[in-house]
Amino acid sequence: MKKCPDCGMVIANQAIRCPKCKYDFTDGQGQGSSSASTPVAKAAPANLPMIIVNRENVDELYADLKSKIIKRKTEFDHFIDFLENRTSWLTAPAAIEGPLAREKGLLIHSIGVAKQLLRIKDSLMPQLDDESAIIVALFHDVGKVGIEGKPLFLVEEKVTTSALGLGLGRNITSSSYIINPKLVPMSVGVRSLFLVSQYMLLTDDEAQALCYQSNHGDVEGRLMPLALTLEVANNWQTKIYEVDDIVRQYNFTVLPTS
């Protein structure tokens, strides 16, 4: 018998890994030795899995999510048709600054939140309906398209002069986004609910999730489970998976997206 140098558990000599703390006796110079004086490298922790959504796979993931809507397919398809053909849904940024302040940023973010919500609800509250989860996650920020004929984000082009050589210069054009001043002001959650509810019959839980998952004040923090899990998924996507430094720091591994 031998003792694990990490947790002290006594295990069989032939064991290569401690069943309690997962200490690996074969890593480094341990080679299964029972001698506590022999330095043994501790096994590296398993990489945390993630689902990454980007410009290369966003269309495939989007099509897959749409195919999962069965019970409310007719009204869902009508709303999708409106979004794709009469708004900036397929091209809008997710914000005016940050990693997704670019074309398709909103779609990338929304699909990322939907993928996270499906994973989170399976662990925390599997009784929540998958279709309901997809609908609120996919459309939680749909208010960022604005309305038909009036997108929330407008492209602003700036021309700057760059000095070259002996006082010569050239004009450089750069693009950024600004908020459309002609759009009636309202919160993203309220506009999302306004748009979705014109095409889809929502439950009260879904309506709360769309409207308040990022703004608890008006409901005094009394969010229902769907809104709470959507908030977790949105925060996880925005503050973890969309921040390159954090992804690198925690050495995430990428899960298959299917």
What is the per-residue pLDDT across 209-258, written as a single tens digit (0 to 9) for each? Answer: 999 887 777 777 788 999 999 999 999 999 999 998 988 888 777 766 65
Q: Which pLDDT score is estimated for 162? A: 57
Which of these ranges, 129-133, 156-160, 232-236, has the smallest mean pLDDT? 156-160
Say if residue 64 is in the same domain as residue 40.
no
In the predicted structure, residue 39 carries a pLDDT above the cut 80? no
Residue 38, pLDDT score: 43
CB contact at 8 A, 172 and 159 = yes
Verify that 6 and 124 share a domain, yes or no.
no
Q: Does residue 97 sit in the same domain as residue 213?
A: yes
Q: Does one domain contain both 6 and 87?
A: no
User: CA 246: distance to chain centroid?
Assistant: 14
Residues 116 and 2 in one domain: no
The predicted model scores a pTM of 0.76
Render pLDDT for 40-89 as a digit per residue (tens, 0 to 9): 444 444 455 777 899 999 999 999 999 999 999 999 999 999 999 999 99
pLDDT at 188 over 90: yes
Which residue has tokens 């050495």?
251
Task: Categorize the per-residue pLDDT at 161 as very low, low, confident or very high, splitting at 50, 70 and 90.
Answer: low
178 against 18, higher pLDDT: 178
**Which residues, other chains included, contact 22 with Cβ-Cβ below 8 Å and sequence gap of 6+?**
43
Residue pair 111/58 in contact (Cβ under 8 Å)? The answer is: yes
pLDDT of residue 218: 72
- pLDDT of the residue at 231: 94
User: Residue 192 belongs to what domain range?
Assistant: 51-148+186-254
Specify burial of residue 62 (Cβ count, 10 A radius: 0-12, 13-18, 19+): buried
Distance (Å, rounded) from C-alpha 147 to C-alpha 152? 8
Position 43 scores a pLDDT of 43
In terms of domains, do 90 and 200 share one?
Answer: yes
Per-residue pLDDT, 174? 58
| Inside any domain, residue 121 | yes
Q: What pLDDT score was predicted for residue 36? A: 41
Residues 27 and 62 in one domain: no
Q: Do 142 and 21 belong together in one domain? A: no
More confident residue, 27 or 246: 246
Same domain, 102 and 133: yes
- Is a pLDDT exceeding 90 seen at residue 6? no
Q: What is the dihedral of CA 7, 9, 12, 18, to 10 degrees?
A: -40
Q: Is residue 167 part of a domain?
A: no
- The domain total for the chain is 2
